[in-house]
Chains A and B, each alone.
Chain A
Amino acid sequence: MSNSTNLTMDKPTPTSLLDTGAQGLIGEPLQRTEGPLKVSGNATYAAEYALEKVAYGVLVGSDFTLGKITKVDAESVKSLPGVIDVVTDFDSFARNPQQGGETKAPTQGVEDVAYRGEIVAIVVAESFEAARDAAHRVVVEHDAPKAEGRYDFETQRHKTDKPADDQIPAHFSQGDLAGAMAEAPHVLDVTYTTPSQNSAAMEPHATTAHWDEDGILNIYGAYQMPSSDKQQLAKALGVSASKVRIIARYIGGGFGSKLGIAPEAVAAAIAARQLGRPVKCVMARSQVFEATVRRSNTEQRMRLGADAQGKLTAIGHDSLVSNLDGEDFFEPCGMATHFLYAAENREINHDMVRLDWLLAGSMRAPGEAVGQLALECAMDELAEAIGIDPIELRHINEPDCDPETQVPFSSRQLTRCLDEGARKFGWDKRAAPGTTRDGEWLVGLGVAAAARGNMLQKSAAKVTINVLGKATVETDMTDIGTGTYTILGQIAGELLGIPLEDVEVKLGDTNSPPGAGSGGSWGAGSSGSSVYLACENLREQIAEKMGVAAEGLTLKDGHAIGDNRRVSLSELVGDRGLSAEGAIAPGKQEKDTRQSSYGAHFAEVGVNTTTGEVRVRRMLGVFAAGRILNEKTARSQCLGGMTFGIGAALTEDLIHDPRNGKLVNRDLAEYHVPVNADVPQLDVVFLEERDVHANPLHAKGIGELGISGAGAAIANAVYNACGVRVRDFPITLDKILDGLPAM
């Protein structure tokens, strides 16, 4: 018997062993298995490995925006006590981080500075204090730029190029949008703008690089996708991928910002190689803002046309997004617009404005997060224009299959989410805009749909049962706070009948089988399936040892039961133990069905009648995302997403100085992520669902569903509260002030 089981999702998986497992671990709100380590300060993050002779690296960013470097004046700082060296490598240093999942090197070459803050050198010293001081003092001389900088989106917005098709086509057209708009009795043609945003994970990007005696580069790094990151880094350094090992056992948040190799890893690895000792490099918070990755700002023109009853005949979603020259990534704002609502005539376009700002890339729910701000606010505006309830408008336009490809939905409970949420939230209490008052506050309710495309990625895992009857799961999949440690343990424990405390999950080490990594909400479905398949294989091996058919086998509490016998796994597997590998890969199901998670957000906000300050008072998310593997960690994912929605709607605004492209607010005092007081006790409800087309777990992605549409519900509630429709996010008080009643 082969000890590996592979599955390509070409067909649905009508049955799941998770439904017949006997251990009772699946779906339960179990505590995180790594929790005690995290709450006691014993979980080890990238900069926390105690290595002999480690030196401290502090990065030097360019303090000019464009121009060719003529000199990095290192001599003046080398004499400072404790400074070891100033290392730069114009050809090899990463100019931009790489995008997630790529196997190419990040864009390299820092001599021609392309944006303000680009990392051009690393100062290495015996102490962090010496390195930081020296890094401040390094003078980087440069020529005048050859071209005039493009720093202002407003002045550049008319010069666009069409980006290459990426996750979705850049341009899409079906039917005759203009014609349908001209004929529709109800039309809406409005433009929303969203600013650049930063993931602002609490752990700054960090790498400890150590070339060992075998010439292997060991990277303790804050990276979401070690398998592809390893390849990116190896290529950047010109070494074989077999010479790079990435260890990322704990990652202090990512939200997309740590998908691809970033400048600090390349710089630390080069410095460590050059100096012959380990180098630890943690980006300063300002450098995380300036030199990693932002979510693109967007300008989104929404055109909706509907017949007299509110049935959409036209949907147009034209987005302008931005990125550096040569970078393909475009913020796919129209991602969910492709399938959320029916309408015969459709145009979904993305055009690129080239700017000399830092890289734009993935941040939590790329596309949906900002795309649904526009689409779901537009639906709210249209509902009001027609004079019907916004939930009713979505009912009317609920498609029965993908409106573009006509393939069936793998599972879709959008309208149930809306109806269930409406009932639970008290939607019937929603009054006309500007009519509900609570003291100094105007109060309003808002709703929005949520959709986040479901993805499956190649992922592999190895599962072993040892002589003690305990299991070990190994994959280089990561847990960035998502709950991977726990849910992989639950899946293995359920399928093998082993209590959760007897399942050890080892993550984030590229010496283990390559996992999907954490991104795109695919982690649980992909890496969970690989564990599932490995366990399925182990069940067959156990059945064979028991002499029964796998279907007749029950595994529970460390014992195999079949054919009227109950034998301990310890006894069955013997001294040599048992092991198996599982691997999942996407297949035809991706195209044969339209796969997405769905939800509905409900928000109650107060708008202060004196100041225009907005406060979220209540918020409910109702979600359907296939099987919920762990009700506790899934709920937390949704809380996090909804709070990102609060930030996007109300506070987060990464400001580029139009004079020089410099980030104005590059710290956590002035880039306002929500604090505890901004977030009420959010409510989350999951609907029961199974998705047989997604993967053998029947689970869909959830990490990004919570943000999709969340901000729109808040914006719609703001309108309902005070009658001011703000289309320029975030909705800061200055944009409301003029529309408030006179004092």
Chain B
Amino acid sequence: MHFTINGQSHEVEPDIRTSLLDLLREHVGLTGSKKGCDHGQCGACTVLINGRRVNSCLTLAVMHQDDDITTIEGLGTPDNLSPMQAAFVKHDGYQCGYCTPGQICSAMGMLDEVKKGWGSHVSKDLTNPELTDEEISERMSGNICRCSAYPNIVDAIREVAGADA
């Protein structure tokens, strides 16, 4: 099978049952995407598929051979962090770090959704939502952080969103 991950081509022959998450972690050596529950209930495995945030544990690798897959490793490196990664460091938007790659990928996808004008469960007006703290919290609720860096995650995302706006 052929995959495009962080702009690089990979030829891999995984088991047909291999999830995209397990492909990344066990076959391609990209362990930044995390397995927290393996059932779409925590968000630690969030990656971007063609720019959209998705739980990589709940999709088969074989179904994504034609897609552009972006993982946390594709967003920035320790020496060259992306603005969102740097904001998470600055605002202490993590503790143990295990949910963090998923949070950051999710935040990237989420801001793109906001740019497209997508509403959320807490939007009063679905056509023109404003990115309040409440909105950020709701939109990031698919990423559980048991250490509970939530307030700091909101701070980090708000800062990046503000800089973008």
Contacts and interface: CB of A to CB of B under 8 A. Distances in A.
Interface of A: 31-32, 34-45, 47-48, 50, 82, 127-130, 133, 199-204, 250-255, 282, 284-285, 480-483, 632-633, 635-637, 639-640, 642-644, 667-669, 673-677, 679-682
A31 B92 contact: yes
Contacts of B86: 39
Given A40-B78, A285-B38, A639 B149 contact: yes
A575 B76 CA distance: 37
Nearest to A632: B92
26 contacts: A31-B92, A35-B89, A36-B89, A39-B100, A41-B32, A41-B101, A129-B17, A202-B96, A202-B144, A250-B97, A252-B96, A285-B36, A285-B37, A285-B41, A633-B92, A636-B152, A639-B152, A640-B146, A643-B148, A668-B39, A673-B144, A676-B145, A676-B154, A680-B151, A681-B154, A682-B151
Contact of A39 (B81, B96, B137): B81
Contacts of B151: 639, 679-682
Contacts of B18: 127, 129
B66 interface: no
Contacts of A633: 92, 95
B148 A481 contact: no
Contacts of A679: 137, 148, 150-151
A39 to B, nearest CB: 4
Contacts of B149: 636, 639-640
Given A127-B15, A668-B144, A677 B137 contact: yes
Contact of A675 (B73, B85, B144): B144
A639 B31 CA distance: 28
Q: Would you call the interface of chain A mostly helix, strand, loop, or mixed? A: loop
B55 interface: no
Given A129-B22, A639-B149, A39 B39 contact: no
Contacts of B76: 39-40
B90 interface: yes
Interface in B6-47: 14-15, 17-18, 22, 25-26, 29-39, 41-42, 44
Contact of B96 (A204, A481, A642, A680): A481
A676 B98 contact: no
A36 B146 contact: no
Q: Would you call the interface of chain B mostly helix, strand, loop, or mixed? A: loop
A704 B145 CA distance: 17
A644 B81 CA distance: 30
Output the residue of A47, A50, A639 with the most chain B CB within 10 A. Answer: A639
Interface string B95-114: 11111110010000000000
A252 B97 contact: yes
Q: Which 5 A-B pairs have the closest CB atoms?
A: A41-B32, A252-B98, A481-B96, A481-B95, A38-B97
A681 B22 CA distance: 35
B77 interface: yes
A255 B147 CA distance: 9
B97 A643 contact: no
Contacts of B143: 676
Interface string B37-70: 1110110100000000000000000000000000
B25 A202 contact: no
B3 interface: no
Contact of A41 (B33, B35, B37, B155): B33
B153 interface: yes
A32 B90 CA distance: 9
A493 to B, nearest CB: 18
Contacts of A202: 34, 36, 42, 44, 96, 98-99, 144-147
B51 to A, nearest CB: 18
A40 B81 contact: yes
